[in-house]
């Protein structure tokens, strides 16, 4: 029964993604962060999440991750597919274990171990002398090195702007997606989403911030409250 449910979930996801793709055939197909995580979990060997932000953003702001284990005061928990969400303003974790929904107060957590599930290929790099972003001339060749007829690429930047603008030969891949508004509204996706014209005092993507009252709800990784890996770890990249 569990296997049938999983197959049905994947089929439903792919049907929705195909429907979105018909409306966005001229560029990367916009999907939500939740859909991106599920696609990666369903077929990790043929799905590549490409974080195209600068290397500094990737390491120090954080990037897409899964939770390999949750160490609690009562033992260690291994969540299904590594999918854990931080809800209620950062007070509660939600996840599944053997298909059953679980809820865990953060105050009972001693440590969360995460693993990156995105690679970093910057579309633009940072020029410290000029204090500005500059194009990465090798971007197209670097991303195309990952090409293959069975490979699906999911692009992610900070809010969805760079993933719409970046240029490379998408025909070399099975499909190319970007984490952004499925209705085509740019800037409500990516890793942190929008600042909503500084309505949040400039902060982006903090756990539990209310975005539903906006005309277009954020579908970013952080606003979806998915796991994040932060820190420099060259051996793991």
- Give the pair of three-digit tokens for residue 152: 């699906």
Per the listing, tokens 């014209």 go with: 197
Taking a C-beta distance cutoff of 8 angstroms, is the pair 228, 221 a contact?
A: yes
- What is the β-pairing status of strands 148-156 and 100-105? unpaired
Q: Which residue has the higher pLDDT, 181 or 108?
A: 108
pLDDT band of residue 208 (cuts 50, 70, 90) is low
What's the structural domain count of the chain? Answer: 1
- For the entire predicted model, the pTM comes to 0.82
Render pLDDT for 127-173 as a digit per residue (tens, 0 to 9): 888 788 888 999 999 999 988 889 999 999 998 888 988 888 999 99
Report pLDDT for 35: 96
Report pLDDT for 69: 96
Q: How far is CA 115 from each of CA 56, 137, 182, 230, rounded to the nearest angstrom?
A: 18, 29, 27, 10
Per the structure, the complete domain to which residue 16 belongs is given by 2-236
Per the listing, tokens 């990952």 go with: 146
Report pLDDT for 164: 86
Q: Find the range with the poorest average confidence among 85-94, 156-165, 197-206.
A: 197-206
Question: CA angle 151-85-52, nearest 5°?
Answer: 40
Report pLDDT for 193: 84
Residue 215 class from Cβ within 10 Å (0-12 exposed, 13-18 middle, 19+ buried)? exposed
- Res 2 pLDDT > 80: no
Task: Tell me the CATH number at 226.
Answer: 3.40.250.10
Q: Which residue has the higher pLDDT, 26 or 118?
A: 118
Report pLDDT for 198: 64
What does the alpha-carbon distance between residue 212 and residue 218 come to, in Å, rounded to a whole number? 8
**Mean pLDDT, range 62-82, rounded to an integer:** 96
Report pLDDT for 233: 60
What does the alpha-carbon distance between residue 87 and residue 101 come to, in Å, rounded to a whole number? 14
């Amino acid at each position: 029964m569990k296997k049938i449910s999983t197959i049905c979930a994947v089929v439903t996801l792919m049907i929705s993604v195909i429907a979105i793709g018909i409306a966005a055939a001229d560029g990367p197909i916009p999907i939500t962060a939740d859909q991106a995580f599920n696609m990666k979990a369903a077929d990790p060997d043929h799905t590549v999440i490409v974080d195209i932000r600068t290397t500094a953003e990737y390491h120090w702001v954080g990037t897409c991750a899964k939770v390999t284990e949750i160490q609690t005061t009562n033992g260690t928990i291994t969540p299904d597919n590594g999918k854990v969400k931080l809800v209620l303003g950062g007070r509660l974790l939600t996840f599944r274990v053997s298909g059953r929904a679980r809820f865990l107060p953060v105050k009972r957590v001693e440590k969360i171990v995460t693993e990156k599930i995105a690679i970093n290929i910057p579309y633009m790099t940072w020029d410290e002398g000029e204090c500005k972003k500059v194009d990465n001339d090798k971007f197209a060749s670097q991303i195309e090195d990952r090409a293959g007829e069975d490979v699906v690429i999911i692009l992610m930047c900070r809010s969805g702007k760079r993933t719409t603008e970046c240029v490379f030969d998408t025909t070399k891949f099975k499909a190319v997606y970007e984490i952004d508004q499925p209705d085509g509204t740019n800037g409500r996706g990516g890793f942190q989403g929008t600042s909503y014209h500084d309505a949040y005092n400039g902060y982006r993507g903090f756990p539990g911030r209310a975005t539903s009252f906006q005309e277009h709800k954020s579908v970013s990784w952080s606003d979806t409250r998915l796991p994040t890996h932060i820190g420099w770890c060259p051996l793991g990249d």
